[in-house]
Amino acid sequence: MPEPAQTYKNHAKFVPLYHYVAAPLLIMNVYWSAKMALRSPNTGTIIAATTAIALVLVAFFARAFALKVQDRVIRLEMRLRLRELLSPALHPRIAEFTAGQMVALRFASDAELPELAQTVLRDRITDRKAIKLMIKNWTPDDHRA
C-alpha cells in the first residue's frame, strides 16, 4: 500500500521494526538482565547486564549518528539549492543559516523557498517547528534516515 503524501503532521520518520519492536525488546533485555544480576550477582549475570546496556547504547548512537550525517547532507543540499534559487545579492547571507534552519527549510518548494529564506533571516527565526509551519507548499523528503 502506498504511503500517504508527506505533510508537516506526518513527516517524522518512524521505522516500526526499529521504534516499536527492536527498541522495546532491547529495553526489556536491560530490565531482565539487571534483575538477574541483582538477584544472583555473578560474572555471567553482570556481563549479561552490561552487554544489554551496551546494546541499547549502540542502537541509540547508531540512530543519532545516522541523523547527524543526514543533517550534514541536508546542509550541503540546501546550500546548493539556496545558491540556485536566491538572488545573487543574497548569496553572501547563505552562511548565516544555521543547520536547524536549513533542515526545516528543506521542505519548502523551490517557488516559495527564496521568500521564506529571506523571512527566516530577517526575523531571525530559529525554531524548526515554526519554520516548517510557515511552509505553504510542502515538498516531501522521502529519502531521510
pLDDT digits (tens, 9 = 90+) for 29-66: 999 999 999 999 999 999 999 999 999 999 999 999 99
Q: Considering the entire predicted model, what is its pTM?
A: 0.77
In a domain, 118, yes or no: yes
In a domain, 71, yes or no: yes
Q: Count how many domains the chain has.
A: 1
Torsion-angle region of 124 (φ positive above 0: left; ψ -120 to 50: alpha; else: beta): left
**Residue 52 CB contacts under 8 Å (≥ 6 apart), including other chains:** 26, 29, 30, 32, 33, 34
pLDDT digits (tens, 9 = 90+) for 67-87: 999 999 999 999 999 999 999
Q: What residues make up the domain containing 43?
A: 16-134
Q: Which DSSP state fits 5?
A: P
Q: Is 116 helix (H, G, I), strand (E, B) or coil?
A: helix
pLDDT of residue 1: 54
Q: What percent of the chain has pLDDT over 90?
A: 82
In a domain, 11, yes or no: no
In a domain, 4, yes or no: no
In a domain, 103, yes or no: yes
Reported confidence tier of residue 89, pLDDT bands at 50, 70, 90: very high
d(CA 23, CA 28): 9
> Do 70 and 144 contact (CB within 8 A), yes or no?
yes
In a domain, 104, yes or no: yes
